[in-house]
């Protein structure tokens, strides 16, 4: 006895294979070739337009032909783990990170994709601040809390400078350290961080040493600071600036 459900699944699988990669998957039987071509182009164009909106710098830097080939390779070979359109950008990054080095992609491509994706990710992030924060707390005596909408990021390549006029062949000696945050108006802002500020945010994010002063003392030890009072004063000013801009929400309430 025929299995209608199994036959339908087989037809759907053949349809999906063909849409993903027409060269590798034969068209299902019984479908008009002209209509199939229209639908195939519609699907590919929708995916390409969506990714073009998420990654405009990559598109302009690679050029239209290379961009089309890259999107087609993504659609043909990558198996996404989510059906959500808002997650397509993250899936594209995963695809780039797993690409064979022999593909000829620029070595900075995956990092540039992550840098471009971060803006959308922060715009739509619904991460909530933890409960029990004293917005006016003493940043030295208390334990500073980083906003969930503020991310300290490190890249091997100068992603904020890459574009059609700048395609580096070698990474610089020092990493690119950036703070990306969503401000009170919902705008995403980017700023370059000094190694000291970046490390301070790392220590605050994984704070196991205590209050803000203890974190600064740990940072001073790592940096080999010889003038401890001056270092603590500079660190306190840095904490105050981070609090004023919204990177730090305040301090954790005791009890």
Residue labelled with tokens 């802002």: 189
Structure tokens, 186: 């919902």
Residue 2, pLDDT > 60, answer no
121 and 150 Cβ atoms separated by less than 8 Å? no
Structure tokens, 29: 């039987």
CATH 1.10.150 correct for 1-105: yes
Enumerate the domain spans of the chain.
Answer: 1-105, 129-255
Residue 253, pLDDT > 80, answer yes
How do beta strands 150-155 and 133-134 pair? Answer: unpaired
Residue 153 is predicted with a pLDDT of: 98
Query: Of residues 253 and 161, which shows the higher confidence score?
Result: 161
Count of Cβ atoms closer than 10 Å to residue 115 Cβ:
25
CB-based contacts of 135, cutoff 8 Å, min separation 6: 249, 250
Burial 56-70 (b: 16+ CB within 10 A, else e): ebbbebbeeeebeeb
Residue 27 is predicted with a pLDDT of: 65
Residue 6, pLDDT > 60, answer no
Residue 1 is predicted with a pLDDT of: 43
Residue 3 is predicted with a pLDDT of: 55
Q: What are the tens digits of pLDDT across the range 203-233?
A: 999 887 789 999 999 999 999 999 999 999 9
Q: Cα–Cα distance between 142 and 81 in angstroms, integer? A: 41
Q: What are the tens digits of pLDDT across the range 31-40?
A: 666 776 677 7
Using alpha carbons, list the distances in angstroms from residue 70 to 67, 77, 83, 120: 5, 11, 20, 21
Residue 113 is predicted with a pLDDT of: 98
How do beta strands 248-252 and 133-134 pair? Answer: antiparallel
CATH tag, 129-255: 3.90.930
**pTM of the prediction?**
0.86
Q: Cα–Cα distance between 250 and 239 in angstroms, integer? A: 10
Q: What are the tens digits of pLDDT across the range 129-186?
A: 888 999 999 999 999 999 999 999 999 999 999 999 999 999 999 999 999 999 989 9
Q: What are the tens digits of pLDDT across the range 68-122?
A: 999 999 988 888 887 777 889 999 999 999 998 888 999 999 999 999 999 999 9
Residue 171 is predicted with a pLDDT of: 96
Residue 47, pLDDT > 90, answer no
Q: What confidence tier does 18 reach under pLDDT thresholds 50, 70, 90?
A: low
């Amino acid at each position: 006895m025929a299995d209608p459900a199994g036959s339908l699944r087989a037809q759907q699988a053949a349809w999906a294979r063909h849409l993903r990669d027409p060269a590798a998957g034969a068209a299902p039987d019984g479908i008009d070739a002209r209509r199939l071509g229209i639908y195939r182009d519609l699907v590919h164009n929708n995916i390409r337009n969506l990714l073009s909106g998420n990654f405009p710098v990559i598109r302009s830097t690679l050029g239209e032909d290379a961009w089309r080939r890259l999107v087609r390779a993504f659609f043909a070979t990558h198996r996404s783990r989510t059906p959500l359109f808002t997650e397509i950008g993250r899936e594209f990054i995963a695809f780039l990170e797993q690409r064979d080095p022999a593909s000829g992609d620029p070595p900075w491509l995956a990092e540039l994709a992550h840098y471009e994706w971060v803006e959308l990710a922060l715009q739509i992030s619904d991460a909530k601040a933890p409960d029990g924060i004293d917005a006016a707390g003493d940043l030295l005596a208390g334990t500073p809390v980083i906003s969930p909408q503020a991310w300290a990021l490190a890249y091997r390549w100068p992603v904020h400078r890459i574009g059609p006029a700048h395609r580096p062949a070698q990474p610089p000696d020092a990493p690119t350290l950036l703070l990306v945050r969503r401000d009170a108006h919902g705008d995403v802002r980017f700023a370059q961080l000094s190694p000291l500020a970046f490390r301070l945010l790392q220590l605050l994010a994984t704070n196991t040493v205590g209050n803000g002063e203890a974190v600064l003392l740990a940072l001073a030890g790592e940096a080999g600071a010889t003038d401890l009072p001056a270092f603590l004063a500079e660190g306190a000013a840095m904490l105050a600036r981070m609090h004023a801009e919204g990177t730090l929400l305040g301090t954790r309430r005791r009890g």
